[in-house]
Amino acid sequence: MADRSGIAGPERVAGRQKLLAVLLAMAMFVLVVDTSLMNVSISAVVRDLDTTVSGVQSAIALEALVSAAFILIGGKVGDLVGRKAAYVTGLLGYAVGATAMTVAQGLTAIIVFWAIVGGIGASLLLPAMQSLIHGNFEGGARKKVYALVGAAAAIAAAVGPLLGGFITTFVTWRLGFALEVVVIAVVLSGIRLVRDVPYTGARGVDLVGAMLSVLGMGGVVLGVLVWQEGGEFVGALMVMGVAAIVGLGFWLVRRKRRERPALLDPDLFRSALFQVGVSQQCLQQIALGGMMIALPIYLQMVLEYNALQAGLSLAPLSLSMFAVALIAGKRAGRRRPSTVVRWGFLLFAIGTSLLIPIVPRAEFGWALLVPLAVAGTGLGLLVSQLNNYTLSPIPEARASEAASVNSAAGSFGLSLGLALAGAVMLAALSATFTSRTEESTVLPPADQQRVATALERDAQVMSNTELSRLLAEEPAEIRDEIMRINTEARPLALQIALLVPLVAALAGLINSFRMGRLPDPKPSGSGDLVLG
């Protein structure tokens, strides 16, 4: 009996750890698939809530921004109140956002609950998950859990557009978010399996650093979003954001010299490898964000695809990224990380460059297959290298803090790419539409002025079907002329928006030569033990 009891104990512990690992992977899956679901459902959300494309796009960018702005603070909150409590709070925040999407009747609920509350939930969840995996697993088991959770994130990124497109097309986009709530409930049902991880470091709070972090990232991206919506004080917001980021750097150095608690250790940036790795992570996400807002809008508002058709059209990008990241991560061999990254940015730039002339000529989504596969291959190469490159040189004791900075840079880049591409697209649409309207020999001067005034107040990407409905009472020749202008203006605006990811990729390509001049990082093991 003693032997059987002695065997049962370790087996029970191993079983509980396996279940905990699966639950953590489920939480990460929801975290990643959430935005994919929103991207392919843009037209359905716009139609059901009677809102605008730019409003939904702003909500998507705002969610990424809130996550970026608060992720450094979220890690510190977990240190102070307990990682388990932060983990639960983050899951509940995400559940609130998903529930709001399930029952939302307007854009305000999406912005408040999905973008802001859900974004704060994400900022608490990721750092807490990092610490809990580190504290609940040891040795080889810990590496396997990190690999499992990372695989869950990669699979979610790959299948998210297809899964979201299927649910939205055949049922409703609301069901996708309702299923997220169910998954979160399952994850929370196993919370007793989680052992809290005590924090033994300094417990002081750097309120000024936290405020500067939020103002810095928030000011820059909000400035772009306000510009997109035609608001005021755009320049003031941008200047405030840049000044806050610069001020944060000086503040952290000052706190370090005085040996006072700081939001993060500025010595992390003494590593040239960490500096360049974080900058490349940010550029990669700017490129991805720009691509993932411009293409879904093109597919749903220009080609008038439903969510499933849009998801299938985007599949070459996500699936090639997943496959190449998996293969390149295992078979990089003796190739220098800088070389792989250089090829990654180059291929992404080539894929985007191929897309730009195709956009006005494509009559179906599969015309984008080759450019998207090329761009996805580039992203896969980047994903396979940047996380490890940035974090491998960092001692394990500081891996969690470094991973938070890395995640913040990535989320900030994603939100900036989403916001900037959307704003550039609407600005180009307004300028092109106004120019074509003024050149028209069909529209009378009064209608030309009315169109120009409407665009100045609220430019929107609109499908021809929706525009035709709005113009139903106009004379046939006026309606046909405005439809013609809309048909010509939208592809050009989307081409210009694609310059955002292209420029980010070219900047990353140039930066990769700086990587090549640096010695390759000597792995400390931290790169395999982080969630980024």
Digit-coded pLDDT (tens) for 419-478: 899 888 888 887 887 788 888 888 787 776 666 665 555 456 666 677 777 777 777 888
What pLDDT does 1 receive? 43
Last residue of a domain, one of 143, 162, 194: 194
Task: Tell me which long-range contacts 27-30 makes (C-beta under 8 A, separation of at least 24).
Answer: 27/91, 27/125, 27/129, 27/184, 27/187, 28/129, 28/149, 28/150, 28/152, 28/153, 28/156, 28/531, 29/152, 29/153, 29/155, 29/156, 29/183, 30/94, 30/98, 30/156, 30/180, 30/183, 30/184, 30/187
At 37-73, the pLDDT tens digits run 888 888 889 889 988 888 888 898 889 889 888 888 8
In a domain, 386, yes or no: yes
In a domain, 273, yes or no: no
For residue 522, count other CB atoms closer than 10 A to its CB: 8
Both structure tokens of 297: 């809008």
- Note whether 132 and 22 are same-domain residues: yes
Query: How big is the chain by its Cα radius of gyration, in Å?
Result: 24
On whether both 175 and 49 belong to a single domain, the answer is yes
The CA distance from 522 to 511, in Å, is: 20
Is residue 344 one of the residues assigned to a domain?
yes
Run of H or E residues at 438:
helix 399-439
**Is there a single domain that holds both residue 367 and residue 515?**
yes
Tell whether 150 and 290 lie within a shared domain.
Answer: no
Burial of 328 (0-12, 13-18, 19+ CB in 10 A): buried
Q: Residue 139, by phi and psi: left (phi above 0), alpha (psi -120 to 50) or beta?
A: left
Please check whether residues 334 and 457 belong to one and the same domain: yes
The whole-angstrom separation of Cα 341 and Cα 106 is 42
Q: Give domain status of residue 79, yes or no.
A: yes
Distance of alpha carbon 432 from alpha carbon 450, whole angstroms = 15
- Is residue 185 a part of any domain in this protein? yes
In the chain, what percentage of residues exceed pLDDT 70? 89
Looking at the structure, do residues 179 and 300 belong to the same domain, yes or no?
no
| pLDDT given at position 5 | 44
**In which element (H, E) is residue 347 found?**
helix 337-358
Q: If DSSP codes are grouped into helix, strand and coil, which group holds residue 501? A: helix
State whether 30 and 156 are in the same domain: yes
| DSSP per-residue codes, 105-153 | -SHHHIIIIIIIIHHHHHHHHHHHHHHHHHHH--HHHHHHHHHHHHHHH
In a domain, residue 271? The reply is no
C-alpha 184 chain-centroid distance: 20
CA pair distance 101, 109, nearest whole angstrom: 8
Give the model's pLDDT for residue 496: 92
Which distant-in-sequence residues (6+ apart) come within 8 Å of 208 by Cβ? 251
Which domain covers residue 136, as residue numbers? 15-194
Closest CA to 39 of 200, 131, 162: 162
Enumerate residue ranges in the chain where pLDDT < 50: 1-8, 458
> What is the C-alpha to C-alpha distance for residues 235 and 407, in angstroms, rounded to an integer?
27
| Whether 190 and 323 share a structural domain | no
Q: How many domains does the chain have?
A: 2
Last residue of a domain, one of 177, 194, 211: 194
Which are the contacts of 21, defined by CB distance < 8 A and separation ≥ 6?
A: 137, 144, 145, 148, 149
pLDDT for residue 344? 95
Q: Any idea what the CATH number is for the domain that residue 338 is in? A: 1.20.1250.20
In a domain, 242, yes or no: no
Encode burial over 127-154: b for 16+ CB neighbours within 10 A, e otherwise: bbbbbbbbbbbeeeebeebbebbbebbb
Domain boundary among 161, 194, 227: 194
Contact yes or no for 225/419 (Cβ under 8 A):
yes
d(CA 91, CA 34): 13
**Does 511 lie in the same domain as 402?**
yes
Which residues are within 8 A (CB) of 174 and not within 5 positions of it... i.e. 6 or more apart?
A: 101, 102, 103
What whole-number distance in Å separates Cα of residue 40 and Cα of residue 311? 6
Q: Which DSSP helix (H) or strand (E) runs through 391?
A: helix 369-391
Domain shared by 78 and 188, yes or no: yes
The phi, psi pair for 442, rounded to 5°, reads -95, -40
Are both 138 and 287 inside the same structural domain?
Answer: no
Looking at the fold, whether 447 and 298 belong to one and the same domain comes out as yes
Tell whether pTM > 0.75: yes
Question: Is 531 a domain residue?
Answer: no
